[in-house]
């Protein structure tokens, strides 16, 4: 009987490890993009690695995840010379000034 309890405990620990690892690969929550008052896109539980594109430019982004991100005006998470991305903390929003370009992509900050 003690062996089966040990195996059960080890199996439980292994399952917990897999679940925690899977959670680290995705930002839990949503990123909402709007253009003016019109909702453009809601992205749920996006992967934390790589660059994520909005389907079209957005003027307002709300980060409902537990992860911080960078917003970019280009589709490939880069900025042209003289430009810069904008840091958006978790559970915060950002709206572009009327004279500036819309947000086209975002990436998560480690």
pLDDT digit string (tens) for 72-105?
999 999 987 877 888 998 888 888 766 688 999 9
Q: Which domain holds residue 60?
A: 2-108
CATH, residue 98: 2.60.20
Q: Quote the CA–CA distance of 60 and 44 in Å, as a whole number.
A: 17
Q: What share of the chain is helix, strand, coil (3-state, %, to 5)?
A: 20, 40, 40
Closest to 20 (Cα-Cα) out of 10, 32, 28, 30: 28
Contact yes or no for 59/103 (Cβ under 8 A): yes
- The pLDDT tens digits for 49-59 are 999 999 999 99
Is the full-model pTM beyond 0.85?
A: no
Predicted confidence at residue 9, as pLDDT, reads 63
pLDDT tens, residue by residue, 77-86:
998 787 788 8
Q: Where are the alpha helices (DSSP H) in the chain?
A: 2-24
Task: Tell me the C-alpha distance between 94 and 101, whole Å.
Answer: 13
């Amino acid at each position: 009987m003690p062996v089966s309890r040990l195996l059960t405990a080890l199996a439980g620990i292994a399952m917990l490890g897999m679940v925690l690892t899977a959670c680290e690969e995705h930002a839990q929550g949503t990123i909402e993009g709007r253009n003016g008052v019109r909702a453009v896109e809601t992205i749920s539980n996006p992967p934390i690695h790589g660059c994520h594109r909005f389907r079209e430019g957005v003027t307002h982004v709300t980060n409902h995840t537990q992860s911080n991100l960078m917003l970019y005006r280009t589709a490939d998470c880069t900025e042209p010379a003289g430009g810069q991305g904008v840091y958006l903390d978790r559970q915060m929003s950002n709206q572009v000034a009327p004279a500036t370009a819309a947000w086209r992509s975002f990436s998560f900050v480690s």
